[in-house]
């Protein structure tokens, strides 16, 4: 197939959310720490009614309905997630409920896990399948689903929750430029989940920031050399219209883009003008390690690249700022934000993506966009995503209510023999929710 990529998308995030401004005050943090310091506006979370399985059931059902896809036409289904509900049974197998009803059990793929990278692994698997000799002509479907929750402390405001579904096939409006992939993988303990009885990760926050930026540099260098090899000219940020980053919190995205700009300066890209050169020159001879810790460099690079950030990055930041870190779904929610904001001008443009999962696994890759044909058109994807309305329809919890929910969820994690509340009033029609877990730990869901 030609132009293999994303044909259709849908996103679901829980209606429950807490404003970062009120959380910041409640936590006794200095004013502006979460909103300006981390760059976050609001954070979604699952109440006892929702989890990564219910969210993925909701989003897959919705995508199939809205784009009128016959469930028999799905030949591969891959899930990316780092939220462990079962150490053996794939989230994918729960989703088979949807397809078995239509007599389709002939669907390859299981779950992929490595922190926030699992969704990208799932996406690469589906794209590779469609491009391979074992492709049977049917669609691939990628699901990224996560609930990001942290223990009390500085990481707590960087949570979030969402599920995204992406239909994969040829002649896609969001087509992969498969040749230009750059990957960097390495063994580090920056963020990991060794405590199997808890949903919370162990995080070395500072190390995770540095690892993210080092991985970004490495992937960018590899992406650039692949591009140069095939195009016969160097790549720079002026060759792409949008840069979409995995977004644990917006401040890191701001730093990441300015880091790419600094890379272009070091690589002597022609778009870096005299003024920017003068501002960055003092940092030209820092070692890699020094450059990650240098606050003046961070400031200077952000200052000289600000106008490009506004143009090439800002449109991707809507959902990551409003919903929070969605782990595997975070990068693709950022992509969905670009489509929401710019669908009518994206034809012919290039979008560069950076995926990062602690531990660590990271890749940079790119899409070439075209308007596409109904139902697989950018404008239809934007209308199915329905981002503004979904954000608007949410219900704000007080910080007290949020903390109470976190406590209940800690208690429920890994538990058996319980029923959930009968009050589903916050959920919109069509949403799946958890009704009970029986004495054998079997989980049961219903659709509102």
Show the CA angle centred on residue 435, arms to residues 46 and 329, nearest 5°: 30
Which residues sit opposite 446 in a β-bridge? 433
Minimum CB separation of residue 247 from ligand ACO in Å reads: 8
β-strands 160-169, 5-12 pairing:
antiparallel
From 82, 177, 199, 298, the catalytic residue = 82
Nearest CB to ligand ACO, comparing residues 253 and 434: 253
Minimum CB separation of residue 250 from ligand ACO in Å reads: 11
Nearest CB to ligand ACO, comparing residues 37 and 170: 37
Q: What is the 3-state secondary structure (H, E, C) of 23-34?
A: HHHHCCCCCCHH
Minimum CB separation of residue 114 from ligand ACO in Å reads: 12
With H, G, I as helix, E, B as strand and everything else as coil, classify residue 11: strand
Minimum CB separation of residue 291 from ligand ACO in Å reads: 15
340 is catalytic: no
246 is catalytic: yes
Minimum CB separation of residue 198 from ligand ACO in Å reads: 15
Nearest CB to ligand ACO, comparing residues 354 and 433: 354
Nearest CB to ligand ACO, comparing residues 35 and 90: 35
Contact footprint for ligand ACO (CB under 6 A) = 30-33, 36-38, 116, 154-155, 158, 191, 203, 205, 208-209, 212, 248, 251-252, 358
**Is the distance from CB of 315 to CB of 303 less than 8 angstroms?**
no
Phi and psi (nearest 5°) for 88? -125, -45
CA nearest neighbour of 111 among 161, 160, 76, 137: 76
From 116, 126, 144, 219, the catalytic residue = 116
Please tell me the distance from the alpha carbon of residue 185 to that of residue 362, in angstroms, as a whole number.
6
82 is catalytic: yes
Nearest CB to ligand ACO, comparing residues 36 and 278: 36
Looking at residue 132, what DSSP letter applies? S
Residue closest to ligand ACO, measured at CB:
37
Cβ atoms within 10 A of the Cβ of 137, count? 10
With H, G, I as helix, E, B as strand and everything else as coil, classify residue 89: coil
CA nearest neighbour of 326 among 12, 9, 2: 12
Minimum CB separation of residue 35 from ligand ACO in Å reads: 8
Please tell me the distance from the alpha carbon of residue 184 to that of residue 214, in angstroms, as a whole number.
9
- One DSSP character per residue, 323-340 reads H---GGGHHHHHHHHHHH
CA nearest neighbour of 192 among 178, 207, 177: 207
**Active-site amino acid positions:** 82, 116, 246
């Amino acid at each position: 197939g030609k132009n293999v990529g994303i044909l259709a998308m849908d996103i679901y995030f829980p209606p429950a959310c807490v404003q970062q401004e009120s959380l910041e005050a409640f936590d006794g943090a200095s004013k502006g720490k979460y909103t300006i310091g981390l760059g976050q506006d609001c954070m979604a979370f699952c109440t006892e009614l929702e989890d990564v399985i219910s969210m993925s059931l909701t989003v897959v059902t919705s995508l199939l309905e809205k784009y009128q896809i016959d469930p028999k036409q799905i030949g591969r289904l891959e899930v990316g997630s780092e939220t462990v509900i079962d150490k053996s049974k794939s989230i994918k197998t729960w989703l088979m409920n949807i397809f078995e009803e239509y007599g389709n059990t002939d669907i390859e793929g299981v779950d992929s896990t490595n922190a926030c990278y699992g969704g990208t692994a799932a996406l690469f698997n589906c794209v590779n399948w469609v491009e391979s000799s074992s492709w049977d002509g049917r669609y691939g479907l990628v699901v990224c689903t996560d609930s990001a929750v942290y223990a009390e402390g500085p990481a707590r405001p960087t949570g979030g929750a969402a599920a995204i579904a992406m239909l994969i096939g040829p002649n896609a409006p969001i087509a992969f430029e498969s040749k230009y992939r750059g990957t960097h993988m390495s063994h580090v303990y920056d963020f990991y989940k060794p405590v199997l009885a808890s949903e919370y990760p162990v995080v070395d926050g500072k190390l995770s920031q540095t690892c993210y930026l080092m991985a970004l540099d490495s992937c960018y260098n590899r992406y650039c050399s692949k591009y140069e090899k095939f195009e016969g000219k160097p790549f720079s940020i002026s060759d792409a219209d949008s840069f979409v980053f995995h977004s644990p919190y917006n401040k890191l995205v701001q730093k990441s883009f300015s880091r790419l700009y600094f890379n272009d300066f070091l690589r002597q890209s022609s778009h870096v003008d005299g003024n920017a050169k003068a501002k960055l020159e003092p940092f030209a001879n820092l070692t890699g390690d020094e450059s990650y810790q240098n606050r003046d460099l961070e400031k200077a690079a952000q200052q000289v690249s600000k106008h490009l950030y506004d143009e090439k990055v800002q449109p991707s930041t809507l959902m990551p700022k409003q919903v929070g870190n969605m782990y595997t779904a975070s990068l693709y929610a950022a992509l969905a934000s670009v489509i929401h904001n710019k669908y009518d001008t994206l034809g012919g443009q290039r979008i560069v993506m950076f995926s990062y999962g602690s531990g660590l696994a990271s890749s940079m890759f790119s899409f070439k966009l075209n308007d596409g044909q109904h139902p697989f058109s950018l404008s239809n994807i934007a209308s199915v995503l329905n981002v503004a309305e979904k954000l608007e329809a949410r219900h704000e919890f007080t910080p007290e209510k949020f903390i109470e929910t976190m406590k209940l969820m800690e208690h429920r994690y890994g538990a058996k023999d319980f029923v959930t509340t009968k009050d589903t009033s916050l959920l919109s029609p069509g949403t799946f929710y958890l009704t009970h877990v029986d004495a054998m730990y079997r989980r049961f869901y219903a659709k509102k």
